[in-house]
A and B are shown apart, each in its own frame.
Chain A
Amino acid sequence: MDFARRPSPYWSARVAVPSLMLQVLAALIPAAIAHVWFFGPGFIFNLLVASIFAVGGEWLMMVLRKRPPEVALTDYTALVTAALLAFAVPSLTPWWVTATGALFAIVVAKHLYGGLGFNIFNPAMAGYVVILIAFPMHLNLWIAPRMGDIDYQYLTVLQTLKYTLTGSLPDVLGFDAVSRATPLDVMKSGLNGMRTVSEIRANPIMGDFGGRGWEWIGNFLAIGGFWLLIKKIIRWHIPVGVGVGLMLPATIMYLVDPGSHPSPGFHLFSGATILCAFFIATDPVSAATSPKGRLVFGFGIGILIFCIRTWGSYADGVAFAVLIMNMAVPAIDLVTRPHIVGHDRKRTKPS
């Protein structure tokens, strides 16, 4: 009897990129629901816009690069990029802003570098930084979170949709009526205005640790992140690295001068810290590969977030921190190469 031949091993992997990506998306669902609860339905529109342009950009680039587009479309990586971008932009964002970010992420940051697996920069963060610089006004316009004691101005679903499509609010409502500075902005401008942290924290936008609403979204992101850890879709090294890298300087500065430095808890639960630790920095393509390298990579991001928030001109620094550490990845990979079993331990240093 004759048989087909094949190289070993004869078992194949049970994990697959599409299912990993779907699980990452699933892990974002609780936080997405919280986002809609606190900041209105704008998140859903942003997610739709980002998804359409990310997937469309992916399809276009695959066709232009003469590769089968269905391969890229069925791995769901473009959707993950779109979802991260949707979390990064304010819930009130005109569609062309989000679309620019999504297209830049997929077309430039991903495909012009060679597509899945070859991009040096985190696509979502590259896209976000481009729109942050190109449309600074739109990206600082966060509406107030839905909390009992803030004079909350409801935007209806239709009003939100209209803003997303046209970039204009109903005549009766001005931007000032609906928007609020983010907690990190409040902290930054407060500190620049020589107020103490405790004074700033009296602002009703502040919650128990970070900003109201934000800290709840952070909690749900953390739950999703832990679920990914348990499912071994991400490893602990990068989240721990980011956490320690941010908390260590934050704690030291807080202990030295609590008047002009917010608490480490504020840093952890404000802005995109938790999203970054579990979902952004853990993008394997643009991260370091070895466990040690990932600790260094995460730690660097944490330190940079702290530095940008404390001394930089941006209130949050996650995107810049991630992109800067993306650049450092080849060097990190080089110096954190593991010892090969059976080799002289001294000689495995980089050459």
Chain B
Amino acid sequence: MTAPTYDLGKLHGGLRLPGHKSASTTAAIRDVPIPSQLVLPITQHVGDPAQPVVGTGDRVLKGQVIAEPDGTLGAPVHASSSGKVIAIEPWPVSRRYGDNAPCIIIECDGEDRAVENDGRWGDFLSLQPADLLLRILDGGIVGLGGAVFPTAQKLMQARTCKIETLLLNGVECEPYISCDDMLMRERAAEILGGAQILMHAMQIESCYIAVESDKPDALHSLGDALAELGDDRLVLKQVPTIYPSGGEDQLVQLVTNREVPSGGLPTDVGCLVQNVGTAAAVNDWIIKHEPLISRVTTVAGDGIANPMNVRARIGTTIADVVKFTGGYAEQADHLIIGGPMTGKSMSTDRVPLVKATNSILVVLKTSFQGNELACIRCGDCASVCPIQLLPQQLFWYARADDEVKLREFGLIDCIECGCCDLVCPSHIPLTANFQIAKGRIQELADEKGRAERARRRFEARNERLEQEKQNREAELARQKNSAKQAGPAAIAEILKRKQQQREDD
């Protein structure tokens, strides 16, 4: 069965990038063996860090909760294999350039003993949607497209909106990354199963599965699985291969022709977007009771000896994963978690693979060049911007640190896709400039917020002092008044009382 192309909306700009995906999609997904040591960051999601519920020296089983969500937004962390907790300490992680963050470190015993299933859960259709959501929360599932927003909370937020469509994101638009492609080829049925669970949890009757046109095998495999499933609420949509059509808001625009409002969410236009990998993880948890303890990731790039897709336990270090695939090629110079357009550059491969790690990309030194020149206002950056921003203007205002103009020209709306960098004949690192400018704006806003709070505190204090003064004056006036009214007799009595006191002393 082939997927028809539907009436699609238009995405402004974008780039047709060379995919570089064939090298990692020739062989099936391979399993990385259990490493000797697992490093599990307590923050692998958007929101508050999870709080460890195990201590150093505790023995843990595969699938056991080792950190529980704390606060309103978060997800639990499960042990990816059985072993002993040997430390809870800072370790380099793949967020923010490989800075240190608290991690639970488990020495694996290699036995991979799992926690006992607390009984069968039965058919999910018999569950109330709210109960199903709570259950999804326990699975530690987060958005696996890279944003790692806790799935359960995303669903709960969406329940407060009028949602018409579940949109499964099988658009893997970044070059090199092919983990979703391989997952769709190999586990189409589980993805569709996950979609059905999500639809039941949301009580919606329509689901689009969007896949890029450059993934014929994935389209074929999903088509076959759909035909077997026979659920006509699920529809496969083929979208054109153009970067960055896989961005959440961009995909909504492409499939539904609706613009997600600035600062809003796809739920504002009736869409709930979930990555296909997330759907499969939901299926594994609800049907097979397997929490999110492993994921498929692409190991690719010219700096990798044997590019491939692997399934690795969450917490396996990048070094272990790369070693399993056959190590680095010579002249490997940059390690990037994510794709070549938006990935994060790491300073060390000691960082662990986490729920967000969809790709391990290693590139060579020779891949970079560029001699930054002045902007010649060619406008090519504006013509490729999917948000229709004017990057050259933003760059100008970012240089001038003009916060008002930056806001007016939509800096906040920049999705940092990197398209403008790739077409700039002056080789200006636009995206990097915008990231810095965004940070600056945030700082300014924080500063303003702090100043505002301080001002309010100061004013409140002045007001309070003023009030107290008035109260005192009023009290004094009242006393004087009452003394006057009481007349000379009362005054004489008071004086006499005071006289008495003095004599007593």
Provide the bound-state CA to CA distance between A108 and B342, in Å.
Answer: 42
Q: How far is the CA of A291 from the CA of B379 in the complex (A)?
A: 8
A contact face: mostly helix, strand, loop, or mixed: loop
Chain B, residues 466-479, CB within 8 Å of chain A (1/0): the string is 00000000000000
B347 and A15 contacting across the interface, CB-CB below 8 Å: no
Q: In the assembly, what is the distance between CA of A19 and CA of B371, in Å? A: 13
Taking a contact as CB atoms under 8 Å apart, the answer to whether A6 and B422 are in contact is: no
Partner of B382, one of A11, A289, A351: A289
A148 within 8 A of B: no
A5 and B249: CB pair below 8 A? Answer: no
Establish whether residues B413 and A340, one from each chain, have CB atoms under 8 Å apart when the complex forms.
Answer: yes
For A4, list chain B residues within 8 Å (CB): 333-334, 345, 347
State whether A11 and B340 are in contact (beta carbons under 8 Å apart), knowing that A338-B390, A340-B387, A343-B262 are contacts in the complex. Answer: yes
Q: Which residues of A sit under 8 angstroms from B98, Cβ to Cβ?
A: 5
Binds A, one of B26-34, B41-49, B201-209, B425-433: B425-433
Q: How many residues of B contact A (CB 8 A)?
A: 72
Inter-chain contacts of A333 with B (CB < 8 A)? 393
Instruction: State which of A3, A8, A115 has its C-beta within 8 Å of the C-beta of B342.
Output: A8
Identify B377's interface contact among A20, A115, A289, CB under 8 A: A289
CB-based contact B370/A12 at 8 Å:
yes
| Per-position 1/0 for B328-356, Cβ under 8 A of A | 10001111101011111111110000000
Kindly state whether residue A193 has any CB partner on chain B within 8 Å: no
* Residues of chain B contacted by A2 (CB below 8 angstroms): 347-348
Chain A residues near B344 (CB-CB < 8 A): 8
Q: Nearest Cβ in chain A — how far from B130, in angstroms? A: 31
- Quick check: A75 and B253 within 8 Å, CB to CB? no
Is the Cβ of A5 less than 8 Å from the Cβ of B346? yes
Q: What's the Cα separation between A17 and B367 when bound, in Å?
A: 19
Q: Which of A3, A284, A294, A342 contacts B259 (CB 8 A)?
A: A342
A223 adjacent to chain B (CB < 8 Å) = no
Collect the chain A residues with CB atoms within 8 Å of residue B368's CB. 6, 10, 12
Nearest B residue to A118 via CB reads: B374
Contact with A along B397-429 (1 / 0, CB 8 A): 000000000001110010010100111111101
By CB atoms of chain B within 10 A, which of A2, A7, A351 has the most? A7
Further pairs besides A2-B347, A3-B347, A341-B259: 13, Cβ < 8 Å: A5-B98, A7-B345, A8-B338, A8-B342, A8-B432, A9-B340, A11-B17, A11-B422, A13-B423, A16-B427, A17-B376, A341-B386, A342-B262
A-B residue pairs, 7 tightest by C-beta: A9-B418, A117-B374, A7-B432, A342-B262, A284-B378, A289-B379, A3-B335
17 contacts between A and B (CB under 8 A): A3-B346, A5-B98, A9-B421, A10-B361, A10-B363, A10-B368, A11-B340, A11-B418, A13-B425, A17-B425, A20-B378, A117-B377, A291-B379, A340-B409, A341-B388, A341-B413, A342-B263
